[in-house]
Amino acid sequence: MCTAGSFLNPVPALAQAIAAAPLSASAAASADNQSLDDAWWTGPLLANSAGTLPPGHVLVEPYLYDISSAHSHSYGSRTYVLYGLANRLTVGVIPVFGYNTMSGGPHSSHVGLGDFTLLAQYQLTQFHEGSWMPTVSFEVQETFPTGKYDRLGDRPADGLGSGAHVTTLQVNTQTYFWLANGRILRMRFDVSQAFSSHANVADVSVYGTGPGFRGTARPGSSFFADLAWEYSLTRSWVLALDLTYSHSRTTSVTGYVQGPDSSSVPAPPRFQLDSGSSTAFGFAPAVEYSWNANVGAIFGVRVITGGHNTATTVTPAVALNVVY
The Cβ of residue 167 has, within 10 Å, a number of other Cβ atoms equal to 14
What span, in angstroms and rounded, lies between the C-alpha atoms of 208 and 212?
12
What pLDDT, on the 0 to 100 scale, is given for residue 56?
A: 97
Model confidence at 260, pLDDT cuts 50, 70, 90, reads low
**Strands of 213-218's sheet, edge to edge?**
199-202, 213-218, 252-257, 270-274
Model confidence at 32, pLDDT cuts 50, 70, 90, reads confident
What span, in angstroms and rounded, lies between the C-alpha atoms of 76 and 111?
9
What span, in angstroms and rounded, lies between the C-alpha atoms of 229 and 304?
18
Where do the structural domains in the chain lie, given as residue ranges? 10-323
Could you give the 3-state DSSP secondary structure of residue 58? strand
Classify domain 10-323 at the CATH topology level: Porin (2.40.160)
pTM: 0.87
Return all residues near 106 (Cβ < 8 A) that are at least 6 apart: 154, 155, 157
CA quadruple 202, 205, 210, 215: dihedral sign: negative
Geometric angle at alpha carbon 49, from 34 and 3, rounded to 5°? 115
| DSSP symbol at 294 | S
**Segment 125-176, tens digit of pLDDT:** 999 988 899 999 999 999 999 999 999 999 999 999 999 999 999 999 999 9
Residue 119: how many CA atoms within 13 Å on its side-chain side?
27
The Cβ of residue 99 has, within 10 Å, a number of other Cβ atoms equal to 19
| DSSP symbol at 37 | G
Q: Is the pLDDT of residue 10 over 50?
A: no
Kindly state the percentage of the chain with pLDDT values over 90.
82
Model confidence at 15, pLDDT cuts 50, 70, 90, reads very low
**Segment 222-245, tens digit of pLDDT:** 999 999 999 999 999 999 999 999
Average pLDDT score, the chain: 89
Q: Is the pLDDT of residue 2 over 90?
A: no
**Segment 64-98, tens digit of pLDDT:** 999 999 899 999 999 999 999 999 999 999 999 99
What pLDDT, on the 0 to 100 scale, is given for residue 267?
A: 61
